[in-house]
Structure 1
Amino acid sequence: MSTVRSIRALAPLLDRVLVQRVKAETKTASGIFLPESSVEKLNEAKVLAVGPGGLDRDGKRIAMSVAVGDRVLIPQFGGSPIKSGDEEYHLFRDSEILAKINE
């Protein structure tokens, strides 16, 4: 796992997407607090930064399918974990993002 001082200093290259997993609720609707061990990691994440896009065979830039601020569905495993302070982030390729959540 890589560690950086400030996540704002991290600029993804090519077709990389920097995301942070959405934290699962630790309290039920009725107000009962759940221990961290019983809370599953969600596959939902928020896009924090995107690279400019990959290049095709002719050297033309391929547009990214997500933008900063989008909510996305990410794979349960994979990506490159990055730690900044107590927070954990992940870098994925644009093609590894499973879906964009539209609301």
Structure 2
Amino acid sequence: MAKRLVPLLDRVLVKRLEAPKSIGGILLPESAGTKLNEGTVVSVGPGRRDKDGSLIPMGVSTGDKVLLPQYGGSEIKLGDDDYFIFRDEDLLGILKD
């Protein structure tokens, strides 16, 4: 379902990585879990235009692992999964292996 959504302009569709549900064999309630600041880029828009109309390329591409800001982004639900849409400039960095 998410593959069909193409973000507009300089927006990026991200699937946030989920924190492990268990630490040391103890199951934690969902409210106690923390959000990870990492995600995987699912889809990117074409980029934005400058004053002259030239296309400014995106800084990330599909499949990149990115560092997300603690706040921001628009949460959307596609099927059973939750995704976030960020502007390219709001992403903090690309995580390399």
TM-score between both structures, scaled by the size of structure 2: 0.91
1:22 maps to 2:17: yes
Identity %: 52
Runs of 4+ in structure 1 over 6 Å off: none
Q: Which moved more, 1:7-16 or 1:64-73?
A: 7-16
Unaligned runs of 5+ residues in structure 1 are 1-5
1:98 maps to 2:95: no
Counterpart of 1:36 in structure 2 is: 30
Larger relative strand fraction = 2
TM-score between both structures, scaled by the size of structure 1: 0.87
Structure 2 contact 2–42 (Cα < 8 Å) conserved: no
| CA shift for structure 1 position 19 | 0.2
Counterpart of 1:48 in structure 2 is: 42
Size of the aligned set, in residue pairs, is 97
1:8 maps to 2:3: yes
Separation of aligned partners in 1, 2:4 and 2:61: 18
Separation of aligned partners in 2, 1:37 and 1:14: 35
Unaligned runs of 5+ residues in structure 2 are none
